[in-house]
């Protein structure tokens, strides 16, 4: 089997590595232009641009308030998505989780759930964070299940906060507290 390329956190079916400049071209760019795929998020409202991608990459590479990792499918070695901890608050030891499996044919195979488990384990064991939280649109079943499998608990509901196609959706707040 081909060696893993720059592995950082290794799971059974995927591994996570740092985002690299070469990732900025290719299908990664299009994940954020996909109207169907981005229906649960605020992506694909404005067109993606190289400028935006570069600004995001530079912010992540230089700072200590975001940790963004590429999700790589172990079998195919494809870069299939990203997972990140954002707004890391070192004083109160919490961060916000975001994930996208941008390659649609790679969804539903347990890869997203494994990425969530790997990154939250790293957040608690190595970054010494205490709490990871996120908001998820109430009808985003795959995301809610992936988070629940990693131990996230629902802690509240923001009513009518997401407007799409003339319908208001609730957003569920979820969080995971460190076991350590
Ligand atoms: C949310 C997302 C990251 C999940 O990744 P994934 O690799 O597809 O998820 P997994 O295969 O690990 O599945 C997680 C759970 O959801 C279930 N699931 C997956 N696709 C599903 C679907 N279309 N309908 C219902 N359940 C589904 C899986 O069965 C699994 O639950 P189970 O183990 O209890 O059976 C991915 O779907 C995605 O990128 N979506 C678009 C972006 C997004 O919504 N990001 C999250 C914003 S909060």
Question: CATH number for the domain including 105?
Answer: 3.40.630.30
Distance between Cα 120 and ligand 1 center (Å): 17
Residue nearest to atom 26 of ligand 1 (CA): 142
Asked if residue 174 lies in contact with residue 153, where contact means CB atoms within 8 angstroms, the answer is yes
Parallel, antiparallel, or unpaired: how do β-strands 67-73 and 131-137 relate? unpaired
Token code pair at residue 92: 């109160």
Q: Given the CA of residue 115, which atom of ligand 1 is nearest to it?
A: 12
Ligand 1: residues whose CB is within 6 Å?
37, 40-41, 99-101, 107-113, 134, 136, 140-143, 145-146, 149
Instruction: Sort 100 into a burial class: Cβ within 10 Å, 0-12 / 13-18 / 19+.
Output: buried
Residue nearest to atom 41 of ligand 1 (CA): 100
Residue 162, domain member (yes or no): no
Residue 169, domain member (yes or no): no
Distance between Cα 147 and ligand 1 center (Å): 9
Residues 6-31 as b or e (16 or more Cβ within 10 Å = b): eeebebeebbbbebeeebeeeebbeb
Which residues have CB under 8 Å from 13's CB, separation 6+?
A: 73, 74, 75, 109, 110, 111, 114
Residue 15, domain member (yes or no): yes
- The SS3 of residue 25 is coil
Residue 91, domain member (yes or no): yes
Residue 38, domain member (yes or no): yes
Rounded Cα distance, 165 and 10, in Å: 39
Residue 117, domain member (yes or no): yes
Q: What is the domain count for the chain?
A: 1
pLDDT in the model for residue 26: 84
Asked if residue 74 lies in contact with residue 4, where contact means CB atoms within 8 angstroms, the answer is yes
Residues 51-71 as b or e (16 or more Cβ within 10 Å = b): eebeebbeebeeeeebbbbbb
> How confident is the prediction along the chain (180 residues), in pLDDT tens digits per residue?
679 999 999 999 999 999 999 999 889 999 999 988 888 998 989 999 999 999 999 999 989 999 999 999 999 999 999 999 999 999 999 999 999 999 999 999 999 999 999 999 999 999 999 999 999 999 999 999 999 999 999 999 999 999 999 999 999 999 999 999
Residue nearest to atom 1 of ligand 1 (CA): 143
Residue 31, domain member (yes or no): yes
Q: 49 lies in which domain range? A: 9-130
Residue 69, domain member (yes or no): yes
């Amino acid at each position: 089997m081909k060696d893993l390329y720059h592995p950082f956190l290794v799971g059974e079916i995927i591994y996570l590595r740092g985002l690299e400049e070469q990732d900025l071209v290719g299908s990664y760019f299009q994940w954020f232009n996909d109207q169907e795929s981005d229906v649960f998020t605020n992506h694909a409202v404005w067109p993606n641009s190289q400028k935006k991608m570069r600004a995001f990459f530079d912010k992540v590479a230089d700072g200590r308030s975001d940790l963004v990792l590429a999700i790589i499918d172990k079998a195919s070695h494809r870069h299939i998505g990203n997972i990140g901890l954002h707004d890391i608050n070192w004083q109160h030891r919490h961060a916000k989780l975001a994930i996208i499996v941008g390659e649609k044919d790679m969804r539903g195979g347990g890869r997203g759930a494994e990425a969530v488990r790997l990154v939250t384990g790293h957040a608690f064991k190595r970054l010494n964070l205490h709490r990871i939280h996120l908001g998820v649109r109430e009808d985003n079943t795959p995301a809610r299940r992936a988070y629940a499998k990693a131990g996230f608990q629902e802690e509240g509901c923001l009513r009518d906060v997401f407007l799409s196609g003339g319908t208001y959706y609730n957003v569920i707040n979820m969080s995971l507290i460190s076991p350590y």
